[in-house]
Amino acid sequence: MSAFFGGKRKNMRVLFGASKIRKRVRALARGIVRDCGGGGLLCVCVLGGASLFFADLAREFDGASTELDFIRVSSYGGGKTSGGAVELTAEPAIDPRGKRVLIVEDIVDTGRTLEFLRGYFLGAGAKSVACAALLDKPFARVNAERAEYTAFTLKDDAFAVGYGLDLDQRYRNLKAVYALEDGAK
Ligand code: 5GP
């Protein structure tokens, strides 16, 4: 790898490879379309961690009646720490009133972000709200939140990067999901 792209990757172990992710995303999308029974869906990408997952998932909804929108929240103090309080930092453009909303999240960790987002969309008049999450990290959960659709569940409390997931805005473009070992930068 050239120095331009940041040199060698250190202390990273593959959790989910690109072809495994592709297959899992396709299966997840099939389940979602089946559950929708031909009804329309407003899919909302939670930026930026869900960006690649969202793009791949939405492509699999080809033919289904789907609107795509984006939201940004901050819950996250930078580095590997989770901030606690969740704040909306960019509003979606499409009015969710009367619509079935699918929140597309990168990770459900403490569950605070998902709790906030469900409240936000239900408060804005959505007919129903469900969540598709790339990763479930059940270890730090502080509430009863659970995504209706989960691609992968982590078996240990690793810090994940790649396929949209970052550490201080790095690693999002990687095709696989990796665990960053302690000390990795
Ligand atoms: P929450 O704790 O509210 O469920 O999750 C907040 C956010 O923290 C997630 O949406 C995700 O962006 C971030 N987060 C939690 N665990 C990890 C992780 O292992 N890797 C990365 N890159 N972000 C994480």
pLDDT at 109 over 50: yes
For position 29, what pLDDT does the model report?
Answer: 96
> Phi, psi at residue 133, to the nearest 5°?
-120, 140
Supply the CATH classification number for the domain 9-180.
3.40.50.2020
C-beta of 134 in contact with ligand 1 (< 6 A): no
Q: Which two tokens stand for residue 124?
A: 């804005």
pLDDT band at 77 (very low <50, low <70, confident <90, very high): low
Q: Does position 183 have pLDDT exceeding 90, yes or no?
A: no
SS3 129: strand
pLDDT at residue 145, rounded to an integer: 96
Q: What is the pLDDT of residue 5?
A: 56
> Residue range 110-137: average pLDDT?
97
Which of 56, 106, 109, 166 is catalytic? The answer is 109
Question: What is the token pair recorded at 125?
Answer: 């008049």
Mean pLDDT of 147-164: 96
Q: Is 168 tagged catalytic?
A: no
Both tokens assigned to 128: 């129903």
Q: Is the CB of 109 under 6 A from ligand 1?
A: yes
H helices of 103-162, in order, are 112-123
- CB under 8 Å to 104, separation ≥6 — which residues? 43, 44, 45, 46, 50, 53, 54, 57, 131, 132, 133
Q: What is the rounded CA–CA span in Å between residue 57 and residue 28?
A: 8
Say if ligand 1 is within 6 A of residue 143 CB: no
Query: Pocket of ligand 1, candidates 12, 82, 107, 180: which has the most ligand atoms within 8 Å of its Cβ, to mutate?
Result: 107
Q: Which pLDDT band holds residue 39 (cuts at 50, 70, 90)?
A: confident
pLDDT for the residue 184: 60
> 62 by DSSP, 3-state: which?
coil
Sequence-ordered list of residues with C-beta below 8 angstroms from that of 93, at least 6 positions apart, any chain? 69, 70
DSSP-assigned beta bridge partners for residue 128: 100
Domain ranges for the chain, please list them.
9-180
Task: Using pLDDT thresholds of 50, 70 and 90, give the confidence band for residue 2.
Answer: very low
